[in-house]
């Protein structure tokens, strides 16, 4: 009986260690949203742009996406003018060694949304067209993971050149 109890105890201990070392199979998607306003130098109506950065653990891989939505601040206006000469988002999957450490880019992708933004004065849906998805990365539970993004846009006719918006990254995935 003592051998049986010892065997069961060792088996349970080994299973516990394996569970501690194994990465979670999947986790809920963690999203942070941020926004910024764009004011044009003429009579074009101001707009608000919303960016949703999402990080998720799926089948041992860290996946990420950055989605952009926008609307005109004055609901009664329809603006079909060209607003941007360029509107690009770069979405990044980042890792850091400690919770408060420095981010290191693991994968990134830049998506050109200029035509989409100029052709649609408002966009509320989350579809492939307004999403930027970098390549997934193999999960390491020892580091902290997030999805972050930057938008660089150039307003048509303002003469100021490119403007960069750093956006709030997703919550961290760890463990």
Write the pLDDT tens digit of every residue in 155-174: 999 999 999 999 999 999 99
> Taking the domain 25-166, which CATH number applies?
2.60.40
- pLDDT of 118-135, one tens digit each? 999 899 999 999 999 999
Q: What is the pTM of this model?
A: 0.82
Domain ranges of the chain: 25-166
- Residue in the block written with tokens 């930057």: 150
**Pick from 170, 144, 173: nearest CA to 54:** 170
Which residues lie below 8 Å from residue 130, measured CB to CB, with a gap of 6+? 67, 68, 69, 113, 116, 123
């Amino acid at each position: 009986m003592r051998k049986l109890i010892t065997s069961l105890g060792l088996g349970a201990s080994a299973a516990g260690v394996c569970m501690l070392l194994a990465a979670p199979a999947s986790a809920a998607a963690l999203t942070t949203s941020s926004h910024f306003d764009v004011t044009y130098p003429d009579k074009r109506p101001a707009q608000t742009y919303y960016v949703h950065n999402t990080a998720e653990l799926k089948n041992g891989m860290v996946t990420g996406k950055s989605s952009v939505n926008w609307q005109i601040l004055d609901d009664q206006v329809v603006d079909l003018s060209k607003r941007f000469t360029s509107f690009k988002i770069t979405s990044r999957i980042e890792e850091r060694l400690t919770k408060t450490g420095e981010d290191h880019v693991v994968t990134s992708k830049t998506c050109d949304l200029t035509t989409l933004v100029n052709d649609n004065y408002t966009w509320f849906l989350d579809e492939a067209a307004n999403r930027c998805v970098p390549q997934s990365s193999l999960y390491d539970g020892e580091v902290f993971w997030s999805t972050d993004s930057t938008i660089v846009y150039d307003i048509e006719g303002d003469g100021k050149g490119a403007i960069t918006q750093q956006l709030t990254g997703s919550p961290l995935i760890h463990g």
